[in-house]
Structure 1
Amino acid sequence: MIEQNVTDETEGKDPLIFGRILDGKGGARPIRREDVDAWEPEAPGELLWLHLRRHAPEVKPWLVDYLGVPQATSELLVSDSTRPRALREGDALVATLRGINFNPSAQPEDMISLQLWCDGKRLITLRKLPMQTPRDVIALLDQGVGPVDAGNAIAQIVEQLVVRMNQSMVDMNDKIDELEEADLEGDAEELLHRISSIRRNCLSLQRHMAPQHEALLQINRDAPEWFEDHDRREVLESIARLRRYLDDIDISKESALVLQDELRARSLASSEHATYMLTIVAGIFLPLGFITGLMGINVGGMPGVDAGNGFWIVTGLCAAILSLQLFLFWKWKWL
């Protein structure tokens, strides 16, 4: 079998991850690397699908010298420029697409690029990091219910790429729902960090998914003749689904922004209330401090000193001032 789990020692050396010959009936059979260069269809409707490691040193020479891919196209396929796009080159379709990164320790917004080239008889896909989408399609082929032609294969790859984005949308919406139901009186700094993280994720996903939407539209408009009408309809379904995901991202961004504004407003209100209370307390004790300071200076002849009841006079005066202040603050609705 060509397809197998690749160890770190072999990753990056062998350009071929797997190879399949689609039989045109939903099934496929493996093909060895040494048989790829001389491959010719043995029956009508057969399609050669090669899934390659983009960063392997042998990939570019193999594409140009043995698989007949034009030099300029091969440079595009192995390039690190992975912004989603699609173009037609004669009777071939060239595209760069992106999928959610589900590799360990990776963030979903760290999307993985998938380059593809197809002339209707051969389909070549390339990736740098492991991704599940091609293996999902391979699993369908092994069950005999996979794509039956080149257009159908591309449509299913596109569908799997888009469908897998749904889990990231669900996870992100769950986080927002959790924050909306949470007590916003908790640790404001932690909550703001979580909300900011959600907003960054939304922006990152949108940055990759918006051009992917345009790339899929380009595939649907300009695909060669071997891309049949039913394949275009499947791509249109994927485009509509991706459009809904983009709308969900916009809603998630707005929800996160509302939460962030509410949290900041509550923090500001709490800070203002504390400042207000400190101002009230200062306003109460300022005149009292002035009176006690004035009466406490060590100067002969101060009123009440000789009578021996100066302390009670000052205390009574302070009590009167305090009562008057509290009455006025209550009347002015400061308290």
Structure 2
Amino acid sequence: MTGFAWIVHDGAARQIPLEEAPGADGDLVWVHLTTNNEHAQQWLDEQAHLSPFVIEALTAAETRPRCDAVEDGAVINLRGLSSEQLTASDPLASVRIHARHGRVFSVTRNPLNAMDRVCADLAVGEIHDPGDLIAAIADEITEELDPMVAKLGDSLDACETRIGNARAFQLRRLVNQVRSQAIGYRRFLNPQRAALEKLALLPGKWLRDDDRLKLGAAADRAARMAEELESIRERAALTHETLTDLRTEQIDQRSLIIAIVAMVFLPLTFVTGLLGMNVAGIPFAHEPWAFWGETLFCVAIALGVTGYFVGRHWFR
């Protein structure tokens, strides 16, 4: 199990050993654990002495973003980017947080990128209480996700401009990747917006007015990203349909060319098959000009059939 602990007292923040955190006293004591469920449950029970309901919330397998009031505090689940490679269906790492007056406990299974920047803000004295800490985590998560959403939109723009100038199957692969990522992010951003909005409205003195404003701003940002992801998903679906239609049109054009070539050679095959029979009585069989005569006759038939299709505009 890995983790760290910080304490803020009279505006000064310092990191303390993890085993000293349960008995520490200050304006803010923050304990963060990166571990599996079994180790986290044991530490939170034996060292932090949290209630079974809070421990279950911090270590639950289902980590969809949510916010619940618990006694004099709250339990918040949020999602953010991780340095580790996650699955396409679950692209964001979870952080489970229990906050109350003077205390914050957070648990993650995968490293969360936002934690390093939050610790940096804590070290320079920008975080003073649990409300500041929760608002900082929410703000860092949404700030990191924002350029990722913009990047998805730019990738889709590039795909749309390349329609007709690139092979359809190559673009379809790129569009499918963008669509899959957008669906994965949107799956968590909508409930995350709702969780932040609910947290901002929870009663409790541990959340100050400026903390509620920051949480509301983070919720608005999450809502905007969710709307952008929905737009990207719809655009990706339309682009995929366009590429499918383009691919179908290319196949139809190639099938038409093959059919025309077959129609040109069909009468030639009949003539050469008829004159190539090994039977007596074939006209001009012993004439010296017979081969070239037959060749010119076949060329004339091919030109005639091709001219017919050109006149009917079958090649357009």
TM normalised by structure 2 equals: 0.86
1:174-213 alignment runs, 5 A limit: 174-182=154-162, 185-186=165-166, 188-213=168-193
CA contact (8 A) 2:98 2:105 kept: yes
Tell me if 1:75 matches 2:56: yes
Q: Of residues 78, 86, 98 in structure 2, which corresponds to 1:117?
A: 98
The structural deviation recorded for 1:309 is 6.2
Amino acid at match of 1:282: A
Which residue matches 1:100? 81
Aligned to 2:21: 36
Shift of 1:286: 0.8
The 5-angstrom pairing of residues 28-177 of structure 1 reads 28-41=13-26, 46-55=27-36, 57-103=38-84, 105=85, 110-144=91-125, 146-177=126-157
Mapped contact 2:192–2:219 kept (Cα < 8 A): no
SS of match in other structure, 2:23 = coil
Deviations 1:46-102 (A, max 9, x none): 122111234275532442344342112212212222221110012110111111123
| Bigger proportion of residues as helix | 2
Take 2:164 and 2:86, find their aligned partners in 1: how far apart are those partners? 29
CA contact (8 A) 2:7 2:28 kept: yes
Contact (CA 8 Å) 1:101, 1:107: kept in 2 or not?
A: no
Indicate the residue corresponding to 1:238 in structure 2: 218
> Which residue in 2 is equivalent to 1:3?
none
Where structure 2 has 5 or more consecutive residues not aligned to the other structure, the ranges are none
Taking the aligned partners of 1:136 and 1:127, their CA distance within structure 2 comes to 16
Letter in 2 for 1:252: I
Q: Which amino acid is 1:138 matched to?
A: C
Partner of 1:7: none
Name the stretch that deviates more: 312-321 or 294-303.
312-321
What's the CA shift for 1:253? 2.2
Q: Partner amino acid for 1:170?
A: A
Q: Is the 8 A contact 1:93 1:224 kept in 2?
A: no
Q: TM-score scaled by structure 1?
A: 0.82
2:73–2:98 Cα contact (<8 Å) kept: yes
Number of corresponding residues: 314
Q: Does residue 298 of the first structure (1) align with residue 298 of the second (2)? A: no
**Corresponding position of 2:4:** 18
CA RMSD of aligned residues (A): 2.8
Give the Cα separation in 1 of the matches to 2:34 and 2:78: 15
Q: Aligned partners of 1:330 and 1:187: how far apart in 2?
A: 28
Structure 1 segments of 4 or more deviating over 6 A?
306-309
Work out the CA distance in 1 between the residues paired with 2:227 and 2:242: 23
